[in-house]
Amino acid sequence: MKAAICYETGKPLVIEDGVTVDPPGKGEVKIRVAVTAVCHSDLHFLSGEIPSPLPGLAGHETAGYVDEVGEGVTSLKPGDTVVIGTVTSGCGKCYYCTIGARHFCTERGAFMKPKHTNKQGQRLALMAGPVGGFVEYTTVPQELVTKIPADIPLDRASLLACGVTSGFGAVVNRARVKAMSSVVVVGTGGVGLNSIQGAAFSGAYPLIAVDVLDSKLEKARGFGATHVINLTKEEDPVQAVKDITSGRGADYVFVTVGKVEAIRQGFSMAGPMSMTVVVGLAQGNLESIPAIELIFTEKILTGCGGGSIRSSIDIPYLISLYQAGKLKLDELITGHYPLERINEAVESLKKGEAIRNIITFD
């Protein structure tokens, strides 16, 4: 089978035939991949910004069909239409599963074992998540697989594996934004647009999108932003947020850009008793927050990975929202590319031209 392999970071992926995948072991499922979307966190790994063993296989926004199930898998059968998520639905037994916080399942660390071998016999490390989706078949733990209705287009469904849920879930699950509270979303890419969508869904107002490109900010309005701030044009963006929020700063700030400077700026945009949620995968340390500011303002600075979703509950729920016309997915897809042209898809995302590019295998 074919795969797009990263042999060296910062270089184009190598499309290679003759790759094999392990058969599903106990509790595992082999999937025939139909589509895998390219996420910005793939780029972090492929560029070497986040280190990873090589050669590696990236891609984690995947949808497809169950091909084969391993021993002990009872809830899935060959032919089932599925999304492979990055967030585990949990072992069901550990402390976090028992209290309903399944995304913190203590077993989730075991998911990063390589499953693929290239024709030279090298094992391919999993990059940017436990899926390995830039390949025709993959084998994953059943906890990452969610069955979905057969009638949803799989390119849309794949977005629910990470981008949509990370943005939407940060607002709805992690922060539980209250209606009529003010929200800033920093960054209007694939994740940011979904935070905006989640905030609009929750009844936030005003809902302020912050980015550097007018074209993206215009798109953000389509997802529910009521105000936009272009950082390249606004002299004092923090003051601009305060002007829109009765001088106080926002009740919630979601930083979907993976940069510590963006987190610092986002935190400044947040008002007293607010919550700033770090969503984008920023490398490096955050250094310049005065401790006294926390005390006098009671601001909360927190993070959210994967939208704190309960995969087996939230993914089907989001699909029903999509089918009811209450969740935008179509508008998130910029282009479709066959695996052979994956490097074009990656380049286009890197340049900020695209929200999501989809690699198709069917």
Partner 1 sequence: MKAAVCYELNTPLVIEDVDLAAPGEGEVTVRVAATAICHSDIHDMKGEMPGPVPFVGGHETAGYIEKPGPGVTSVKAGDPVVVSLLASCGECYYCLTGLPHLCLNKFAPPKEPRLHNKKGQSLAQGGSVGGFAEYVLVKESQVVKVPADMPLDRAALLSCGVITGFGGVVNRAQVRPNQSVVVMGAGGVGINAVQGANYVGAYPIIVVDVLDNKMKLAKDFGATHMVNAKRDDAADEIRKLTDGRGAEYVFVTVGSIAAIKQGMSFTAPRGTTVVIGLPPVGQELCFSPLELIPVEKNLIGGFMGATNLKIDIPKLISMYKTGRLKLDELITGRYPLERINEAVASTEKGEGLRNVIMFE
Residue among 53 and 95 whose Cβ is closer to partner 1: 95
CB of 222 to partner 1, least distance (A): 32
Alpha-carbon gap, residue 18 to 137, rounded angstroms? 12
Residue among 102 and 328 whose Cβ is closer to partner 1: 102
Residue among 101 and 289 whose Cβ is closer to partner 1: 101
Contact 25, 16 (CB under 8 A): no
CB of 191 to partner 1, least distance (A): 24
Comparing C-alpha atoms, which of 343, 310, 270, 312 is closest to residue 104? 310
Measured CA angle at 101 (ends 99, 102), to 5 deg: 110
Contact 208, 227 (CB under 8 A): yes
Strands 227-230 vs 207-211: parallel, antiparallel or unpaired: parallel
Residue among 53 and 100 whose Cβ is closer to partner 1: 100
Interacting span for partner 1 (CB under 8 A) from 93-101, 137-145, 191-199, 264-272: 93-101
CB of 310 to partner 1, least distance (A): 6
Contact 9, 127 (CB under 8 A): no
- Is residue 325 packed enough to be buried (19+ CB in 10 Å), middle (13-18) or exposed (0-12)? exposed
Q: Does 180 bind partner 1 (CB under 8 A)?
A: no
3-class DSSP state of 158: helix
Strands 116-117 vs 61-69: parallel, antiparallel or unpaired: unpaired
> Binder to partner 1 among 10, 51, 99, 290 (CB under 8 A)?
99
> Binder to partner 1 among 60, 102, 108, 156 (CB under 8 A)?
102
Q: Does 100 bind partner 1 (CB under 8 A)?
A: yes
**Enzyme catalytic residues:** 39, 41, 44, 60, 162
Report the DSSP beta bridge partners of residue 93: none
> Binder to partner 1 among 1, 15, 50, 101 (CB under 8 A)?
101
Contact 221, 232 (CB under 8 A): no
Which one-letter amino acid corresponds to residue 226? T
> Binder to partner 1 among 95, 180, 239, 338 (CB under 8 A)?
95
CB of 97 to partner 1, least distance (A): 9
* Footprint of partner 1 on 288-327 (CB under 8 A): 310, 312-313
H-run or E-run covering 199: helix 190-201
CB of 179 to partner 1, least distance (A): 18
Interacting span for partner 1 (CB under 8 A) from 45-53, 92-100, 164-172, 258-266: 92-100
CB of 312 to partner 1, least distance (A): 6
Count of C-beta atoms within a 10 Å radius of residue 196: 32
Residue among 95 and 150 whose Cβ is closer to partner 1: 95
Chain-centre distance for alpha carbon 90? 18
Binding residues with partner 1: total (CB under 8 A) = 11
Q: Which residues bind partner 1 (CB under 8 A)?
A: 92-93, 95, 98-102, 310, 312-313
